[in-house]
Amino acid sequence: MSPRSKCDLQPVLRIDFPNEEKIGRGKMQLLEHIRETGSISAAGRAMDMSYRRAWLLVSEMNAMFAQPVVDSQRGGKQGGGAVVTAFGETLLQRFRDMEKKIETALASDLAWLDANRSVTKSR
């Protein structure tokens, strides 16, 4: 067995709001897919979730903040669509920045955990 060359442990950030609302990497990933596809439906498909589930997550995020995170347009002659708002882009960037800060702050602890975990355990 060869020793691991890089720590592959990953901290996961989730922010719990007092009223039981949450944001985490799943919702942020959904925002990234909406930005890439311009569609809540396509973003949901990219994450292997139903349109309804994706729409509910977007609705939750829009209700969590004073400004909308995603603007959507119903279908019609031109078809529907969705766009991550400027506020949503800022939210996404700040969340990704928080993740980087956590990784940096915990790097030595994660390296220690990685060095001391069993190599025989499969993932």
Q: What is the per-residue DSSP string for 39-99?
A: -HHHHHHHTT--HHHHHHHHHHHHHHSSS-SEEEE--STT--EEEE-HHHHHHHHHHHHHH
How far is 2 from 21, CA to CA, in rounded Å?
43
Residue 3 token pair: 């020793």
pLDDT at 5: 47
Taking residues 29-45, what's their average pLDDT?
Answer: 95
- Enter the pTM of the model: 0.83
pLDDT at 78: 56
Residue type present at position 36? E
pLDDT over 70 for what percent of the chain? 86
